Chain A
Amino acid sequence: MNKPEFVYVSYIATTPEKLWEALISPEFTRRYWAGRTIQSDWKVGSPVKLLKADGGLDWRGEILQSDPPRLLSYTFDPQGFLKSEGISEPPSRVTFEISQLGPEPTSKRSVVRLQVTHDNFEPDSAVAPAVSQGWPAILSSLKTLLESGRSLEFEWKC
């Protein structure tokens, strides 16, 4: 297996449960993921999709691992992007790992480490450079939302 292409880490003043909720709830993702809503029943083997604000499909995937509030992993298949580029590529994989740092979740100073790993790309993948722009913006926006309740608005070209 190839080594991961990207590993992103963010430290967020929240609890693992709240962070998990933010990853799986469409009401949350709409506020930090460029207006997009995520949809799944979050069972292993079930489909997951991210919809744009206009209802169009951003990407789809399949749940590989779901262990709330610690580990979430799904395949990542941006069919719209691939079609617009006129290429085909098998799905890659995104994994979210959540760990508690410092004080207990009940404490007001609870800090959580979120690690996002994106791997299983094709050699010379066209998707890899495209997603490298996205994750840091999504993670900062997610951090701001969880820590201040304020949304950061950012837009993507596609």
Chain B
Amino acid sequence: MDEVFKALADPTRRELLDRLRAENGQTLGQLCQQLDMSRQAVTKHLAVLEAANLVVTLWRGRDKLHYLNPTPINEIAERWISKYEHRRLQALSDIKQGLEKKRKKRPHE
């Protein structure tokens, strides 16, 4: 669990997870494309994420594909969120997402 928190404590690594959430199963090359960072730096961040089991890799022919594995985050949530709180928190989270989506849209209207 320490490894998961350590991995999530870095904004670049969270960015990498966001990218995989948007498109799962990317290669290192694809992940590097929009990041202003060296290939080596991205490789290091991916290694930390993989050690924390937040990223799982799979070989497809010659391509090493990276997948977001949210299972450890779910395990952390289960540890502190009891079954009764779950639905209320989900409702709050839905409200927050709904309101923030609206607010984001406004400047472009």
Which residues of chain B from 49 to 69 have any CB-CB distance to chain A below 8 Å in the complex? 53, 56, 58, 60, 65, 67, 69
Interface check B83, CB cutoff 8 A: yes
Interface check B39, CB cutoff 8 A: no
Contacting residues, chain A, for B75 (C-beta < 8 A): 140, 143
Q: Is the interface of B mostly helix, strand, loop or mixed?
A: mixed
Given contacts A143-B75, A144-B78, A152-B78, contact A7 B70 (CB under 8 A): no
Interface check B24, CB cutoff 8 A: yes
Contacting residues, chain B, for A154 (C-beta < 8 A): 83, 86
Closest to A7 in B: B67
Closest to B63 in A: A3
Closest to B83 in A: A153
Interface check B74, CB cutoff 8 A: yes
Closest to B84 in A: A153
In angstroms, Cα B77 to Cα A136, docked, is: 11
Contacting residues, chain B, for A11 (C-beta < 8 A): 53
Interface check B43, CB cutoff 8 A: no
Range of interface residues on chain B?
10 to 19
In angstroms, Cα B73 to Cα A8, docked, is: 12
Task: Contact check, A9 vs B58: say whether CB atoms are below 8 A apart.
Answer: no
Given contacts A139-B74, A152-B83, A153-B83, contact A9 B60 (CB under 8 A): no
Q: Which residues of A line the B interface, CB within 8 A?
A: 3-11, 115, 117, 135-137, 139-141, 143-144, 152-155
A and B contact pairs by CB, cutoff 8 A, 28 listed: A3-B25, A3-B65, A4-B25, A4-B58, A4-B65, A5-B25, A6-B67, A7-B67, A8-B71, A9-B53, A9-B56, A9-B69, A9-B71, A10-B71, A11-B53, A115-B56, A117-B58, A136-B70, A136-B71, A136-B73, A136-B74, A139-B74, A140-B71, A140-B74, A140-B78, A152-B83, A154-B83, A155-B87
Q: A5-B24, A117-B58, A140-B75 are in contact. List 20 more A-B contacts (CB 8 A).
A: A3-B25, A3-B60, A4-B58, A5-B25, A6-B67, A7-B25, A7-B67, A7-B69, A8-B69, A9-B69, A115-B56, A135-B71, A136-B73, A136-B74, A139-B71, A140-B71, A140-B74, A143-B75, A144-B78, A152-B83
Q: Which residues of B line the A interface, CB within 8 A?
A: 24-25, 53, 56, 58, 60, 65, 67, 69-71, 73-75, 78, 83, 86-87
Q: Lowest 8 A-B CB distances belong to which pairs?
A: A7-B67, A136-B74, A140-B74, A153-B83, A9-B56, A136-B70, A140-B75, A3-B25
